[in-house]
Structure formats: C-alpha cells, structure tokens
Chain A
C-alpha cells in the first residue's frame, strides 16, 4: 500500500510539437493510500495511458511517478509491486483456476501454506471456490474475468490494484454484483484501488474520488456528489448525468440584466457575474416546472415527455435552446405543445465562462 504522486506528461511521439501530440498533458495528481479512485472519461482521453504509467507498463516521457515519495518513474511493474486487471480476461490456459490465482504469489516465492490461504479466501470472495480444480480455459468469459480480478487481488501487500475497464465483458446483472464485491474487498483489505472506466455509473458507485478526464487532462477531481452538484467544467456537467447538465448560453448586459434567448431572467441582476457571454448550467434533476411566471423562470414550449421508469423526462424549447427536466414518475406531466415556466435560477445553478465554473 502506498501513496502515489504523479507529476508528469506523456507523449507517444518522439518529438512533441503541440499539445495535440500529448496523450497526457502536464498534470499533478496524488492518489492517497487506501483510497478508491476512478478515472472517468470518453475513449481516447488518456485514462488507460495514465493507468499504464502508474503500473509501469508505459514509462512517462516527461516527469516523475513517486510511490510513497520514492521516485519509481523507471521501475518495472514488479518493482512497484502493482496489480493490474485488464479489459479482456487474461488467463493461463494450461493452469487450473486455483493455479491461476496462485500464480502471482508463487512467482514471488510465497510459502505454500500462505498461498493456499490467500487463494482460498479470494476464491470465496469471487465465488470461484467450486471451480478451483477446473481448467481455466474451459470457463465462460465472465468466470475468466473473475479469475483475472482474483489474480489482481490475491497479493495482500500490493501498492495498488489497477483496473482497466474490467467489467466490459461481464453481463449487466453480474456487473452490479462484482462492483459490490470490489467495494467490499476495498473495505476489507484497505487496498488502494484505481479504476478506469467510461461508464459514469460504474465510476460513481465504485469510487470515493472520481477523476474526470478529457483530451489528455484531468478536468475535475472530486467526490461523486461534487461532480454532480458543482461541475467545475462544462465537460463534466455534460458528461456526468443522464442526460447531462442543461448548458445554456446567456448574456450579462452592463446594466446587470441577464438575457437568455431574448428573454430577461428576472432576479439575475442580484448575482455577482461578469458582463458578457456566459453559460448557465442546471441539471435536469433541479430544473423545476413552476405554475406561473416568477423570478428566475423562463417560458418554454414542451416538445415531448418520455417516461423512463424512475422519472419522466420533459424536453422543452426556449427559443432555439433545448432543455431537459426530470419530474417525478407519477407527477402529472404537461402535454407536448403546452406552454410551461421553468425555474432556472436557484442554489444549484452554475455559471461558466470559457468552460470554467465561475459561480
């Protein structure tokens, strides 16, 4: 177990000409000992690169990686004492399930009794006890991935366990169960876990701290609640949530009035905002339909209403802008074509300038 400090940049190109050549732009991150972290972002944002730099499979082209303050930038995965689970199951075909799980321990000359104890414990956690003596090659894909997970977790003394989208090949109902298992293992063993995913639900349910990445940089690090409530970047607002945050261009005039698509947002005068073009962000969960015109509300026309199980999603139009609002599953929904009033200004409203949160 270790605290991991990254202060680096990485490019796969030999010669770096512009920011586009970086897979990871210069960044500085600390992973605290015993934390559960998720690296969340779309494909190609650099999250797997960062994971491979932490594990030592890739050497950072610039900067350093420190484990507990010791520079490990050029150390191998073995020297760093890292465990890593990959996206697709990697199993040793000729071995049994038990031998697969024991492999990382046997390679490190752990005494046989201890190997047996650890393998037994991990197999029990992952429901593999019944198949320990079977050949791993004959099992289904999700069982194989459980073996891969088990090999990542079997060593008690690792600096950190890294997961690279480990549940991609797993059935949805098993995903929940395995994620819960991982959380439980995290609590029991107190390991540092770093989990790469492009699935926000996976990231938010697994991690204490989520790092949202886009185009080679970490745009926000925070708890799932922070990412939801106060996205520091419009990308985070848009990427997190289903659907993402409503991001609406507004204009702050020198006289203090706030304009959205030709309508004045009354109540906007009292906010301390710079003049000029801004973005107003409000989550569909916080966008309320109010009975009549009031301070901070705009008039909108309902486009359609979809019942999505846990709530109803109302799509409405203000001028050229599309807004989405969640209302309760049994609330009486407006009909398409209805004129409604949407309250845009309340505690949950965020304002952005140049994509960065300002208020």
Chain B
C-alpha cells in the first residue's frame, strides 16, 4: 500500500449541486414536511405542539387502518397472482413477427393508454346491469350482480378492473423478454426432444426472470398505491370494502384533516413499500438459479 494520501478534490460537489437542488424541491423537502406533520400536533397557524411518536403509536392501533392494510395486502397479492401468469400466457400466445405481431401489440397496449379515472368510469358503465355489457351479461346468467351493493362483488370488480388494465404491461414486458431469447435455444430444445412444457420451464421461464422481476416490482408498487380507479368506481364502498390504503390515507388527511396521523402513516406506508420491494427483489434474484447475474460470463 502506498503511504501517500491523494489530495481530496472537493470540486465535484459543485457538479452534483443542480441535481441535489432539483431532488430537494421535488422529493426531499416535501418528504420533510410530511415528517414535520408526523411529529407535531398542529392546532392552527403558528400553534403547533411537538408530540414525538404519539401519532405513530395511535395510527398503529387504528382498527380501520388494520382493515385497510389487510385489504390492501390481499389485493396486491391477488393482483400479482393473476396478472403475472396471465401476462406471461398472453405473451407466449402473441405472434413473434410480421404484421400480426404489430397489430396484436397495439391492441394489447390499448388499455395502458387510458387515463386511470377514465378506466374507473368505463367499468362503472360496463358493470351496470341496465346498460353495461358486463353487468347485463352476469344478470342474464342469473347472477345477482351489483358492484355498489355487494362488498365481495365490489372487491372482485375492482380486482378484475386492475387485471384488465395492467395485465398488458406484464404481457409486453414478458413479450420483450421472449423476443430476446436466441433461436439456438429453441433449436437445441427441439433436438433434445423437449416438450412444450419443458421448453417453457427450462428455457423461457429462466430467461424471463429479469423482466418478470421488473414486472412484479412495478405491479406490486402500483397496486399497493392504487387510488383512482376504485375511487371512481366504488368510492371505497360499499362500507369500507374497497377502501384501500391510499384512499384511507386521503380520507384521514383531506376528509378529516388529521394531518398528524396521516403524515405518520404516510411514512410507514413508504417504508412498507420499500421493504416489500427489497424482499421481493432479493428473493427473485436468487430463485431459480442459485446464482446472481454477476457470475455469468
């Protein structure tokens, strides 16, 4: 080891200063105001009392929050369990090249181009038993369907809406992953006498690991923060059956003006998403190969 110490050059800090400024205004300062709210009881202008972790303690004991959290976890779990396999299946059945591929890509992407509140409105009409195709068809089949009256049906309708809206994203990611598999793998599998299932299990699925990881993370984060579509479709009801976390949070913050507890929970919410993504990411990195990409040559 050389005993000489390099002179420390501090000039580089000036180069990242613009980024620090931008991120401060866009993320750090807003986040700090939330932190600020979460540790104070604000009674009025210039009337604030420091309360420490009191808001955190009280929100953690909130029964409504517990219900919303479980509802949310169940919802995100169901979203992943449905959209990932469906998306992969959709990608596998899409044509690989030619004009059909382009046409199918456009059709599949359509639902991704619709603004979220419009998605809610579309399903609001789609599910109506008098003029909506979906609701009408279910009624004709003898099912007593009502997404505004029945909590379970409301919940399932929101889930179905999310699957309809976001499965194409998973499909597009998986499709891109499938396109990247060299033809030689399929040729070798054909020579080796592999069945269709074996090709999927030993070639396609392992090669899709990277894009599926992104798909799982995106769909988890997005579904965990879902707000607009159920808000438009059911308004969180009937009862609280489709009130997910962010809607609950909004009710506390804007509806009841409980800024302290809402801010405290915002931070917890943020940490939950971070934690889940961290766990999912690390799990998916290991699953299947027992190695990381770094070992590849």
Contact = CB atoms under 8 A, between A and B. Distances in A.
A78 interface: yes
B43 interface: no
Interface stretch (B32-40, B63-71, B163-171, B198-206): B198-206
B185 interface: yes
A88 B289 contact: no
Given A57-B187, A90-B185, A141-B297, A107 B195 contact: yes
Contacts of B296: 137
A31 interface: no
Contacts of A233: none
Contact of B291 (A78, A95, A135, A152): A135
A107 B198 contact: yes
Contacts of A86: 184, 187-188
Contacts of A221: none
A137 B191 contact: no
Contact of A77 (B182, B191, B195): B191
A62 B203 CA distance: 33
Interface in B247-297: 288-291, 295-297
B289 A137 contact: yes
B288 A94 contact: yes
Given A84-B187, A137-B289, A138-B291, A94 B194 contact: no
Nearest to A109: B193
A297 interface: no
Interface residues of B, number: 23
A351 B128 CA distance: 90
B190 interface: yes
Interface in A31-90: 55, 57, 76-78, 82-84, 86-88, 90
Contacts of A138: 291, 295
Interface residues of A, number: 28
A103 interface: yes
B192 interface: yes
B188 A95 contact: no
A177 interface: no
Contacts of B182: 88
B184 A107 contact: no
Interface string A141-152: 100000010011
Contacts of A151: 188, 192
Contact of B295 (A77, A103, A107, A137): A137
Contacts of A83: 191
A103 B191 CA distance: 11
B207 to A, nearest CB: 8
A104 B192 CA distance: 4
Interface in A132-162: 135, 137-138, 140-141, 148, 151-152
B183 to A, nearest CB: 9
B193 A55 contact: no
A108 interface: yes
Nearest to B193: A107
A138 B294 CA distance: 10
Contact of B193 (A78, A88, A137): A78
Contact of B202 (A78, A94, A148): A94
Nearest to A141: B297
Contacts of A108: 193
Contacts of B295: 137-138
A140 B297 contact: yes
B194 A135 contact: no
Contacts of B185: 90
Given A90-B188, A94-B206, 8 more contacts: A57-B187, A57-B190, A83-B191, A93-B288, A104-B191, A104-B193, A135-B289, A137-B291
